């Protein structure tokens, strides 16, 4: 088991990529803190993990709010005693152009998609440093953070910022033996912030199918385990080859 005895926090773990990351990490021996504002979804994922014979617990938290994050870290420590891995997965999208989006919508997307990763990295990072045993942080980005889109202006901006946040965190936390990296999926499972999978959604990639959440989870596992011990500040595209393609 690649994560035996370690404690992992996975935000947005009640569905889609977050759910698969939580389940895969648990299968690899981690004790998993399943974090979500969707209590029903989060409790189900935690229950599924426990039912499989692994260890997990659900934690309700709005990770874009510092008070909730501080309380979450304390609750996870109270339950599991330490934190070794953080996966910053929470995000929402606007799906609007610059001419359509309101200031309030912009602020909400930036707060949930970007600020949450800053807050979680800050307070979990402080705990990892206090433990003096290092740690791993995996940020979930998006191909939207690397190219312009006709819609989702706030989401694209937030995910672009996540990329450089990952680099900055890697530099600043490396002295404490905390490795920070990122994966960037594309059209994997259901759309961001939605529970329903749309089989008619247009797919343009080299494998001509949507990504499966487990495929993103496997990349996150690589960055969270010792297989990637010499990898810091990097991004792995889990996109079916989209970023390798020429745009017509």
Q: Which of 138, 84, 139 is nearest to 113 (CA)?
A: 139
Extract the tokens encoding 146: 């690397």
Angle at 116 between CA 194 and CA 203, to 5 degrees: 35
As beta bridge partners, residue 10 has 34, 87
Query: Which of 112, 59, 58, 92 is CA-nearest to residue 190?
Result: 92
How many Å apart are CA 67 and CA 244, to the nearest integer? 41
Pair 29, 4: CB distance under 8 Å = yes
Residues involved in catalysis: 155
The count of C-alpha atoms lying within 13 angstroms of the C-alpha of 165, restricted to the half-sphere facing its C-beta, is 25
- Beta strand pairing call for 178-185 and 55-60: unpaired
* Among 228, 233, 208, 209, residue whose Cα is nearest residue 218: 228
Q: Residue 216: which of 142, 149, 155 has the closest Cα?
A: 142
């Amino acid at each position: 088991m690649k994560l035996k005895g370690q404690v992992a926090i996975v935000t947005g773990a009640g569905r889609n990529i977050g759910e698969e990351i939580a389940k895969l990490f648990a299968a690899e021996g981690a004790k998993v803190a399943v974090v979500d504002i969707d209590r029903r979804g989060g409790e189900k994922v935690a229950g599924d993990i426990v039912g499989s014979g692994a260890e997990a617990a659900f934690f309700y938290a709005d990770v874009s709010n510092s008070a909730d994050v501080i309380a979450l870290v304390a609750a996870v420590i109270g339950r599991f005693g330490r934190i070794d891995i953080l996966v910053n997965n929470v995000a929402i999208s606007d799906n609007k152009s610059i001419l359509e989006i309101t200031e309030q919508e912009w602020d909400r997307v930036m707060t949930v998609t970007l600020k949450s990763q800053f807050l979680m990295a800050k307070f979990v990072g402080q705990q990892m440093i206090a433990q003096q045993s290092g740690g791993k942080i995996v940020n979930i980005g998006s191909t939207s953070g690397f190219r312009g889109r006709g819609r989702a202006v706030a989401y694209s901006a937030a995910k672009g910022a996540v990329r450089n946040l990952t680099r900055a965190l890697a530099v600043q936390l490396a002295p404490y033996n905390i490795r920070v990296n990122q994966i960037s999926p594309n059209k994997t499972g259901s759309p961001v912030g939605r529970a329903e999978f749309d089989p008619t959604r247009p797919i343009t990639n080299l494998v001509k199918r949507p990504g499966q959440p487990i495929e993103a989870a496997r990349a996150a596992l690589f960055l969270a385990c010792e297989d990637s011990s010499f990898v810091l500040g990097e991004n792995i595209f889990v996109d079916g080859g989209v970023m390798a393609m020429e745009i017509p």
